[in-house]
Structure 1
């Protein structure tokens, strides 16, 4: 692989990590504010808790 390909791969990995960290922070921020952290789940995870 050439040098520019390493930079492209590193950029893609960094964007994936940033996206994961952002979603985890958003989940905990909603739960800290008293909101339902499962409100945006597509599987309806809030209905499984009783």
Structure 2
């Protein structure tokens, strides 16, 4: 795992907010594939927790 936390910078479930969101997962994957360190490796998650 190279990053954890929120998927993007919009703490909203509204579809209209998606186009303006900064996608942290996409950024992390691009950085890893380029051989770079992940800049946003840990972020505060939003929403409900996942129970195991």
Q: TM-score, normalised by structure 1?
A: 0.38
Q: Which has the higher helix share?
A: 1
The normalised TM-score by structure 2 is 0.37
- Compare relative contact order (CA 8 Å, sep 6+) and give the higher one, 1 or 2: 2
Structure of larger gyration radius: 1
